[in-house]
Amino acid sequence: MAKLQNCLEDFQIYVGTYSKYNSGSIYGEWLQLSNYSSYDELLEAMRELHQDEQDPEFMIQDYECSEFFIKQKLISESHLSTHIYEIAEQINSSDYDFEVIEAYAECMSYYHKDVEDLLHNLSDSYFGQYNSDEDFAQDILEQDGSIPENLPSYIYIDWEATARHLMYDYMSSNGYYFKN
C-alpha cells in the first residue's frame, strides 16, 4: 500500500536560498518530505538549515518526486505548494494505493483539479489491476455473466479482438483499468 508515508517517501527537495545563489553559492540540503508531518514543520527545518540568514528566501533548486505532484503543479522550480501535506493526507485517507491514483490521473489527464474530485470520480470508475487487456476483458465478461458457464469446447473466444473492442469503453495505465 502506497499511502501517505510512501506517497511522500520518494519526495525530496533540495533547498537553498536566493541570497546564497545570488552570491555564487548553491549551498543547501536535500530534505525528505516524509520526515515532516506538516508544511509548517518542513518550513521550520528549512529555516534551521539556513539560520545564518536573517529572513531567508527559500529556493527549491531541485526535487525528486512522482510525476503526479509535478502535473498537479504542487512542485516546480522554486515552488512547493503549501497544500502538499493536505493533499497527501487526502490520498492517505482514500481507499486506493497511490499507484492507482496516479494511473487514473494519467488516464484522465486529470491534473490541476481538486484531488477530492479526482478521488470521488476514481471510486466510480476503477475496475482493478490486470496483466493485459485480454485478461481484463475475460474477467469482466465472466463476472457479468455474458459468457455461458457451459460453453461448448468447440467454441473459442478471440480475447484479443474482444479486448480491443471492449477497450473503447475503458482505459488503462500501468495495468490499472478504469471505465471511461
Mean pLDDT to the nearest integer, 144-150: 80
Distance CA 150, CA 176 (A): 30
The values of phi and psi at residue 4, to 5°, are: -50, -55
**Cβ-Cβ contacts under 8 Å for 144 (sequence gap 6 or more):** none
The pLDDT-based confidence of 75 (bands split at 50, 70, 90) is very high
Query: What is the pLDDT at residue 2?
Result: 42
pLDDT at residue 4 tops 60: no
Say what percent of the chain tops pLDDT 70.
94
The pLDDT-based confidence of 18 (bands split at 50, 70, 90) is very high
pTM: 0.80
Mean pLDDT to the nearest integer, 155-164: 92
Query: What is the pLDDT at residue 127?
Result: 94
**Cβ-Cβ contacts under 8 Å for 27 (sequence gap 6 or more):** 16, 20
- Residue 54 vs residues 17, 78, 107: alpha-carbon distances, Å: 12, 20, 46
The pLDDT-based confidence of 46 (bands split at 50, 70, 90) is very high
pLDDT digits (tens, 9 = 90+) for 100-140: 999 999 998 877 668 888 898 998 899 999 999 999 999 99
Mean pLDDT estimate for the chain: 90
